[in-house]
Structure 1
Amino acid sequence: MSVIPTKPSPAKRGGAPVPDSKTEFPPVIRRTEVVAIALVGLLIICVIAGLYLAKAFFLPITMAFIVGTMLSPAASFLERYRIPRAVAAVLIVAAVSAGSAFMVGLIASPAIEWSSKLPELGARLKEKMYVFDRPLALWQELQSLLGGPDTLTTLHLPKVDWVQPTLEFLSPTFAEFLLFIATLILFIASWRELRRALIMNFGERTWRLRTLRILNEIEDHLGNYLLVVATINIGVGIATGLICALTGMPNPASLGALAAILNFIPIIGPVAMFAVLVVVGLVAFPTIGAGLLAPAMFAVMTFLEGHFLTPTIVGRRLALNALAVFLTLAFWTWLWGPMGAFLSSPLLIVALIVKEHLTPVDSPQLPED
C-alpha cells in the first residue's frame, strides 16, 4: 500500500509560526453613531437658542436657583434658632436686597450728577487728550504713505446717545426682577422638599446616594464661594475707596461701592473699574499724571488680589482652570449679558461637581506627569 507524502506545513518547515495575515484596520464609525452625535449637536444648539430667546424667563429663574442655593446654608442656620424656614427666607432676601439697595444708592447719586454734566465733562476730557495729537498725526502720515484713507484725524469721544441703551442693557425689567425675587423666596423656603423629591425620584439606592452627595457638595461649595467672594469684594471696595480718598478722587465711597459690585464679574469687572477710574481721574485732576495715580494703584491692588489672594483662598475649595473660567465667562456674557457674567463661575462650579460625580471611578485616566 503506497503512502502519499504530505506537504509539510510552513510552520514545520521553518520552525517558526506564520504571522497572521489579517491586517488591522482603524475602527469604523457606524452610521448610528454619526446620527447620535448629530442629534446631540442639534439638541445643544436648540437648548442654547431657547436660553437666548427666552432670556426674560430663564435668566431670573437660573439666577434665583443659583443665589438660593448659595443662601440656603443661612436659612438652615436660622432654622437652628427655631425660625421657620419660610420666615428665614423672607428675612434673608430682605437683608440681601437692603444691602444691594445701599450699594446701588451710593453709586446712583454721583452717577446721576455726572450724567447731567456729560457735555461739559466730555469737553474737559477732550482737552486733556492733547498728548495724543502727535501720535494721531504720525498715524495719519503713515496711512497716507501706505495709501490708506485719512479717516483718523482727531480723537472722537463717544456721544451721549449710548447712555440710555446702556442703562436698558444693564438693568433688568420690573417683571424679571419680580420673578427673580418671588422664585428666590420660594426656592429657599422649599429647598428641603425640592431636594428630597429630586433624590427620591431615582429608584436605585446607588443613584439616590449619588444625587444626595452631588446636591450637598453643590450647596456647600456655592455657599462657601458666595461667602469668600463677597468678603474679598467688600475688601476690594474698601481698599478702592481708601485709594480714591488718599489720591483726592471725587466720591471715593461711590467708587469703592462700584469696585465691590464690579468685582463680582471675573476679568471684565476689574477692567471696567480701571477704565472708570481713568476717566474720572483725567476729568477731575488738572494733569494726566495726577489723574492716573489712582488707576495705577488700583491696578496694582487688583493684580495682587487676583493672582495671590483669591486663588489661595478659593483654590483650596475648588480649583478652577483659568481657561475654563475665561471661556465660561465669554459664553454666558454673550448669552445673558452682565448677569450671565455673574453666573459664569457658579455655573462652572456646578458643572465640575456634577462631572466629577458622574464620571466613573474606573474610567481610563491619563498617567501623571
Structure 2
Amino acid sequence: MAKPIITLNALKLVIMLGMLVIVLAGIKVAADLIVPFVLALFVAVILNPVVSLLERIRIPRALAIVLLVSAIVMLAVLLLAYLGTSLNELARTLPQYRSSLIAPLSSLEPWLQRVGIQVSVEEVVKYIDPNAAMTLITNLLTRLSNAMTSIFLLLLTVVFMLLEVPQLPTKLQQLMSRPAEGMAAIQRALDSVTHYLVLKTAISLVTGLVVWGMLSLLSVRFAFVWGLLAFALNYIPNIGSVLAAIPPVAQVLVFSGLYDALLVVLLYLAVNMLFGNILEPRIMGRGLGLSTLVVFVSLIFWGWLLGPVGMLLSVPLTIIVKIALEQSQGGRSIAFLLGDVSVKR
C-alpha cells in the first residue's frame, strides 16, 4: 500500500506545481494590468494610517482622502516639473562627458598598470558613445511627460480603495469558511506590511533628503535628481543603495576628479551605514521574519515577475506570501523555510 500513497502524493505535487506555473505565467503575461493595481494597493496601505489619523481629529473620511490626495497631486506636479528641468539640463551636458573622461581615466591608468592591468585610455574613450546616454535621457523625458496620466489613474484607484476600507472586513468575512482565523491572518499580514511600508517610506524620504543636502553642500550638479533616485531605490533591499550611488559617483569622477569621487563614495557609505545598518533595524524593531537569502532571492523573483515595481515591493509581497502559507498545513513547512529562525516568535 506504500507505493500507491507515494504515487498519489507525487501526483498531487506535480498538479500543484503545474497550477503554480500556470498562475505565474498568467501574472507575467498580465503584468501591465496587475502592476498598477498592486502599486495602488500598497500606496493605499501607506496612506490609510494618515487617513485614520485625520479621522481621529473629526475630519470625515471622504474629505480626509480628498485633502490627502490633493496634497499628493500638488507635490507630484512640483516634483515632476523640477525633475523634468533637471533631466533637460542633464541631457544638454552629456555630450561634454566624453572629453572630460580623459583626465580621470589617465589618473587611473598608472594604478591599473601597477596591478598588472594594461589599459589604453585612447582605446577606452573610443568605445564611449554619448548618443546612447542621450537616447536614455530622451526616453526618460518622454516617459515623464506621460507620467501625469498614469499618476492620475493610480491615485484614482487609491481613492476608491481608501473609500472601500471600512466595508472591506464585512465583505471578506462573507467569503471565508473560518472568518475568525481568516481575518486574524489578514490583519496580521496588513499590520506587517503597513509597519514595513510606512517606516521604509519615512526612512527612504530622510535618506533622499540627506543625500540631496550633502551633495548640494559638495556642489555636485543634479543633486536633487540623485536624492530622488536614492529615495526610490532605497526601497530595493540589499542592492538599492549601491545602485543609487553609481550615477553621482560616475558624474563626479568625470567632471571633478578621482578624489572628489572618493569623497562622494564615502558619503554614500556613511549614509548607508547610518540609515541601513543602524537606524533602520532599530526603528523597524522586530524582524521581518524573512531570512537574508530569501530577501535577496525574492528581489530577483518579483523583479522578474512584475518588473521594477516588483523589486520595490519584493519584501512586503514575500511577507504576504509567507503569512498565506502559514494558514495551511502543507504550506507551513515552506513558510518555515522562508522565515528567519533567529527572530523570536
State the TM-score, normalizing by the size of structure 2: 0.81
Alignment match of 2:210 (pick from 239, 246, 250): 239
Cα separation, 2, equivalents of 1:187 and 1:284? 47
Cα separation, 1, equivalents of 2:184 and 2:22? 30
For 1:353, give the aligned amino acid.
Answer: I
1:282 and 2:253 aligned: yes
Cα separation, 2, equivalents of 1:292 and 1:133? 16
2:191: which partner in 1?
Answer: 220
Confirm or deny: 8 A CA contact 1:140 1:153 kept in the other structure: no
Cα separation, 1, equivalents of 2:309 and 2:78? 19
1:53: which partner in 2?
Answer: 29
1:37: which partner in 2?
Answer: 13
Could you tell me how far 1:259 is from its partner in structure 2?
Answer: 1.8
Cα separation, 2, equivalents of 1:51 and 1:164? 30
Cα separation, 1, equivalents of 2:142 and 2:240? 16
SS in 2 for 1:234: helix
1:352 and 2:328 aligned: no
Between the aligned residues of both structures, percent identity stands at 26
Confirm or deny: 8 A CA contact 1:126 1:157 kept in the other structure: no
Cα separation, 1, equivalents of 2:86 and 2:69? 27
For 1:221, give the aligned amino acid.
Answer: S
Deviates more, 1:231-240 or 1:26-35: 26-35
1:256 and 2:232 aligned: no
Alignment match of 1:302 (pick from 262, 268, 272): 272
SS in 1 for 2:286: coil
Confirm or deny: 8 A CA contact 1:278 1:291 kept in the other structure: yes
Cα separation, 2, equivalents of 1:331 and 1:122? 37
Distance change (3 Å), C-alpha of 1:235 and 1:255: same
2:55: which partner in 1?
Answer: 79
CA RMSD of aligned residues (A): 3.6
Query: Which segments of 5 or more consecutive residues in structure 2 lack a partner in the other structure?
Result: none
Could you tell me how far 1:270 is from its partner in structure 2?
Answer: 1.0
Deviates more, 1:154-163 or 1:267-276: 154-163
Q: 1:144-183 counterparts in 2 under 5 A? A: 153-154=123-124, 156-161=127-132, 162-163=135-136, 167=140, 177-183=151-157
Cα separation, 2, equivalents of 1:173 and 1:114? 19
Alignment match of 2:305 (pick from 322, 335, 341): 335
The structure that has the greater radius of gyration is 1
Q: Deviations over 1:309-343 (max 9, x none)?
A: 21222242634321111111111112222211111
Deviates more, 1:111-120 or 1:177-186: 177-186
Confirm or deny: 8 A CA contact 1:79 1:88 kept in the other structure: yes
Alignment match of 2:243 (pick from 247, 259, 272): 272
SS in 2 for 1:117: helix
Cα separation, 1, equivalents of 2:268 and 2:261? 12
Runs ≥4 in structure 1, deviation > 6 angstroms? 25-28, 168-175
Q: Deviations over 1:182-216 (max 9, x none)?
A: 3211111112222321112224xxx2111221222
Could you tell me how far 1:347 is from its partner in structure 2?
Answer: 0.9
Confirm or deny: 8 A CA contact 1:243 1:294 kept in the other structure: no
Confirm or deny: 8 A CA contact 2:211 2:227 kept in the other structure: yes
Cα separation, 2, equivalents of 1:65 and 1:202? 21
Distance change (3 Å), C-alpha of 1:30 and 1:355: closer
Confirm or deny: 8 A CA contact 1:281 1:292 kept in the other structure: no
1:114 and 2:86 aligned: no
Confirm or deny: 8 A CA contact 1:225 1:314 kept in the other structure: yes
Cα separation, 2, equivalents of 1:200 and 1:95? 36
Cα separation, 2, equivalents of 1:284 and 1:323? 38
SS in 1 for 2:307: helix
- Between structures 1 and 2, the one with greater helix share: 2
